[in-house]
Structure 1
Amino acid sequence: MTTDDTYPTLDLALRVGELLLSSGAGAADVSVQMQNVCIACGLRGVSASVTFTELQLTHQQSPEDPGMIQVRNVTQREIDYEDLTRVDWLVRDLVSGRIDRDEARSQLAQLVSSGHERSRKVVTVGWGVMGLGIGLLLGATPVVIAAAFFGSMGIDIIQRYLGRRRLPMFYQQVAGGLFATMLAVVVIATGLSDNPSRIVSAGIILLLAGMSYMGAVQDALTGFPLTAAARSLEATLQTAGAIAGVSGGLTIATAIGIKLVNLTPGASAYPPWPQMALGGAISAGAFAFASYAPARALLPTALLGMVSATAFIAGYHAGLGVSWPAATAAIIVGLVSYTIASRIKVPTLVLVVAGVVPLLPGLSVYRGLAHLSAGQSDGLVELINASVVLLALAAGVIFGEYVAQPLRREGRRLEQRLSGPRLVGPLTVRSVRRRKRDKA
């Protein structure tokens, strides 16, 4: 391949990697899919480097030639499963030979310039429904569940408004925490409820970075410790912003003469299993909807959320603690997601993430940091417990994928079977083209 062909190939791979990383894919998947794009275009021996904010591809045609390096920064981050799905299938078409490099570049440019079919107002309602589902998971009363519904929509509107003005995420979190606390103040002042803890806990659920922490654990498990550390730092700052916002809201409430007694932000309790299952289904399906997942994926994600929540609460009531039920539920999600994703033609990541959303320990992380900021040593215990649950979820999902993917590839050697898992895109170019030859 000539130099004139090398740079367009590297550029296409970097643009694919940028969309995958910014849409929620893990570092391991991004690295492999960039290399798959290069190999599919006839460029071998490419080295990929993925960090939290930068992608780099390096190619050296021969030991005598200088290496070609292309770098692309990743600045915009928003979970977007519509773009993720479209890029996933673009890579699959390129790898299988259905399209060439130039056509892939054209389709990618069209993908980037086009908007979403789902309007922003409808997505905001989706976040509200997710808040409603989380309220059910917390065992809240109807008033608290309604507050969670409207609070989640209000937080989404506020963060969108501030995001358009390029205000850093930390300040968006502060504003969201302030809004959730003032909503609790209004509810308490009007006498609709006397449980401010549940109102604040349900209201700030969208601000809690459980998803970011899980992504960090996943990156650490798959060999990207620097990216994992960066994700953890970002998630910690986001949670700290929510804590600052809640603290500011309490200060304002005291100043205007409204005292929220017995307030413990982050308070929660597990409800009976029917309510837990319903809350899991609603929160998982609403999360997928608000993250622009294709419509065909909404029912499967809701069912996965119900299954994971039911498996967790069954293990919890059986006296297994928290971490083992979480791991068991995650393994089930990982096992089932791979098969379902191939049938409804979406990346496995869409089903996996939505399926474990009901189990993310965002409130535990919040409680831990809040207690530590107040000088209480039990905050460290909360953080350790949350870390154990996050590790259990990430490890369980990945293990489930390791088991599920070989079952779909019968007759392969053991070392080939353990070459995954991939939550986005094909496993390798070679495996896709081998299956295509076998069918022919």
Structure 2
Amino acid sequence: MSDPTTSIGVFDNAAYTRSVLDLTMRLAEVIFAAGAGAEDATAAMEAITRAYGLKGTEANITHTIITLTHEDPGTHESITRSRNVKYRSLNYGKLTATSELIVDLLETPMDVADARKALATIVSAKPQVPALYRRLGWSLVGAGAAVLIGGGPIVLAAAFVATFFIDMITTALDRRQAPLFYQNVVGGAIGPIVAAIVALIDPTANPSLVVIATIIMLLAGVTTFGAVHDTLSGFYLTGTARLMEALLITGGLVTGVAGASLLLARFGLQLRVDATLTPTLADLPALLTASVVIVIGFGLAVQVPWRAFWVVCVLGAVAEFLYLAAASSGFGLVWSSGASAIGVGLAAAVAARIVRTPPLVIIVTSLVPLVPGLILFRGLLQLSDGDINGLLSLLTAGAVAVALAAGAILSQYVVQFVWGPARRLQRRFVGPLMALPVRLSRSPGKRI
């Protein structure tokens, strides 16, 4: 006959383990859905379970499935929990708040029930800004992009209006659970339609710039950064899935733009891009101002914490300046983009500690002005004219996007390898942590 006290003890231990695993997975789900990479979510799960006394826990993420397994060292029985991340969208306010909660739990683990309540408060909290202001943020991205590529007042106003309606319509389609591809087809088609209206209002304007501005706005939220981060970190399945998602979004965008452009061509509107439209250092004040406007708009749209706004604005201008300096020196589009991303990434490592915000938030927001919308649209028009060079332009656009992500990740890897965190973390994980608080020192501590 078994001892009832022992049975109760085993039951309590199993219940405690399940509660810790559930809390851990919910925390990981929030940061992963809000924009963190698979490596950050995995590292967070293993660190939290260790903080709560569960050793030997194995965590894994495969794009939409989060799995956490703990094996009891005494009985060798395993408890496995899994969650399905059904919806992902960039929400840097929620990501930052959850990251701060993870810091508190690692420093001083609180009661599991209290931690659950704290997480529920974060999840259910009102957005940092109302939906209208977030939509106006996307409009600022479009307006700033129009100025960045040489548009005048009419083009600027048209880009502002076009991106406003793009976000309104795609949001409505998303609420009706329309596939992501078709959302971007519709969003991509709006740009050429507004461009046609601009051509009627002002025949001297370049309506193609409106289309390019909307492309930059739509590409700003693409998961290229996360795809590159996951792939370089060894999460090949998740990285490949995110890359396919990025290609799906881009494919829908290209389809919408191409379809609307071909339709308008039958009515006499031929969209063209001036081949000499290349930014130079002579236009530096206007370009830096446009970059800051884009960063402010994107920050509103994805709810960057207010305390970090001044940092992302400064680094957004720095990113554009470094890009122009490198491009003017003959480094080419891809290498200039990579060099700018490295510089911004190094600065973000310091700025993240000043404003207590994950480096991921600062880096991605600061690099939005460098999204290769102009190259993508030029390649699209070349292909529509039967020019094989269009394929090269599309590949160049993809290379620029990868260079931005890879450069920023490389800078964070260098910082964390030289300055911290602990070397044991570098042995367990391939890439740097971007969405979690790391200990930038070699001294002992409880942070990741």
- TM-score of the pair, normalised by structure 2: 0.88
Give me the whole-angstrom Cα distance separating, in 2, the residues matched to 1:77 and 1:266.
37
Name structure 2 gaps, 5 residues minimum.
Answer: 1-11
Give me the whole-angstrom Cα distance separating, in 2, the residues matched to 1:193 and 1:171.
33
2:391 corresponds in structure 1 to 380
Secondary structure of residue in 2 paired with 1:56: strand
User: Offset of 1:252 from its aligned partner?
Assistant: 4.5
User: Offset of 1:363 from its aligned partner?
Assistant: 4.3
Residue pair 2:215, 2:373 contacting (<8 A) in 1 also? no
Give me the whole-angstrom Cα distance separating, in 1, the residues matched to 2:76 and 2:341.
48
- Higher alpha-carbon deviation: 9-18 or 305-314: 9-18
Q: 1:244 aligns with which of 252, 255, 258?
A: 255
Residue pair 1:135, 1:148 contacting (<8 A) in 2 also? yes
Give me the whole-angstrom Cα distance separating, in 1, the residues matched to 2:224 and 2:276.
20
Whichever residue aligns with residue 34 of structure 1, its letter is M
Give me the whole-angstrom Cα distance separating, in 1, the residues matched to 2:273 and 2:326.
26
Secondary structure of residue in 2 paired with 1:395: helix
**Deviation string for 1:188-236 (max 9, x for gaps)?**
1223544222121112322226742232112111111111111111111
Secondary structure of residue in 2 paired with 1:425: coil
Does residue 120 in structure 1 map to residue 104 in structure 2? Answer: no
Does residue 40 in structure 1 map to residue 51 in structure 2? Answer: yes
**Deviation string for 1:412-435 (max 9, x for gaps)?**
88666787622122337x989727
Residue pair 1:133, 1:283 contacting (<8 A) in 2 also? yes
User: Offset of 1:106 from its aligned partner?
Assistant: 1.0
Residue pair 1:201, 1:267 contacting (<8 A) in 2 also? no
1:146 corresponds in structure 2 to 157
1:338 corresponds in structure 2 to 349
Structure exhibiting the larger radius of gyration computed from Cα positions: 2
1:421 corresponds in structure 2 to 432
**Deviation string for 1:69-115 (max 9, x for gaps)?**
21111111110011001100010000000633222111111222222
Does residue 4 in structure 1 map to residue 4 in structure 2? Answer: no
1:261 corresponds in structure 2 to 270
Check 1:371–1:239 CA distance in 2 against 1; reply closer, same or farther (3 A cut): farther
Residue pair 1:288, 1:354 contacting (<8 A) in 2 also? yes
**Deviation string for 1:380-439 (max 9, x for gaps)?**
322332333233222221222233335655xx88666787622122337x9897279xxx
Does residue 187 in structure 1 map to residue 198 in structure 2? Answer: yes
1:390 corresponds in structure 2 to 401
2:65 corresponds in structure 1 to 54
Mapping 1:147-226, distance limit 5 Å? 147-191=158-202, 193-208=204-219, 211-226=222-237
Give me the whole-angstrom Cα distance separating, in 2, the residues matched to 1:414 and 1:55.
26
Give me the whole-angstrom Cα distance separating, in 2, the residues matched to 1:382 and 1:356.
20
Whichever residue aligns with residue 24 of structure 1, its letter is G
Give me the whole-angstrom Cα distance separating, in 2, the residues matched to 1:350 and 1:365.
25
Residue pair 2:188, 2:255 contacting (<8 A) in 1 also? yes
User: Offset of 1:312 from its aligned partner?
Assistant: 0.6
Q: 1:270 aligns with which of 279, 293, 303?
A: 279
Name structure 1 gaps, 5 residues minimum.
Answer: none
Mapping 1:312-391, distance limit 5 Å? 312-365=323-376, 367-368=378-379, 376-391=387-402
User: Offset of 1:67 from its aligned partner?
Assistant: 2.5
Give me the whole-angstrom Cα distance separating, in 1, the residues matched to 2:377 and 2:241.
19
Check 1:87–1:230 CA distance in 2 against 1; reply closer, same or farther (3 A cut): same
- Higher alpha-carbon deviation: 18-27 or 99-108: 99-108
Whichever residue aligns with residue 198 of structure 1, its letter is L
Whichever residue aligns with residue 159 of structure 1, its letter is T
Give me the whole-angstrom Cα distance separating, in 2, the residues matched to 1:288 and 1:41.
35
Give me the whole-angstrom Cα distance separating, in 2, the residues matched to 1:25 and 1:6.
25
Whichever residue aligns with residue 70 of structure 1, its letter is R
1:69 corresponds in structure 2 to 80
Aligned residues: 432
Secondary structure of residue in 2 paired with 1:199: helix
- Higher alpha-carbon deviation: 300-309 or 108-117: 108-117
1:19 corresponds in structure 2 to 30
Give me the whole-angstrom Cα distance separating, in 2, the residues matched to 1:433 and 1:121.
46
Residue pair 1:174, 1:243 contacting (<8 A) in 2 also? yes
- TM-score of the pair, normalised by structure 1: 0.89
Give me the whole-angstrom Cα distance separating, in 2, the residues matched to 1:30 and 1:193.
51
1:308 corresponds in structure 2 to 319
Give me the whole-angstrom Cα distance separating, in 2, the residues matched to 1:171 and 1:335.
38
Q: 1:231 aligns with which of 214, 218, 242?
A: 242
Check 1:339–1:399 CA distance in 2 against 1; reply closer, same or farther (3 A cut): same
User: Offset of 1:273 from its aligned partner?
Assistant: 2.5
Mapping 1:282-301, distance limit 5 Å? 282-301=293-312
User: Offset of 1:23 from its aligned partner?
Assistant: 0.7
Give me the whole-angstrom Cα distance separating, in 1, the residues matched to 2:117 and 2:200.
57
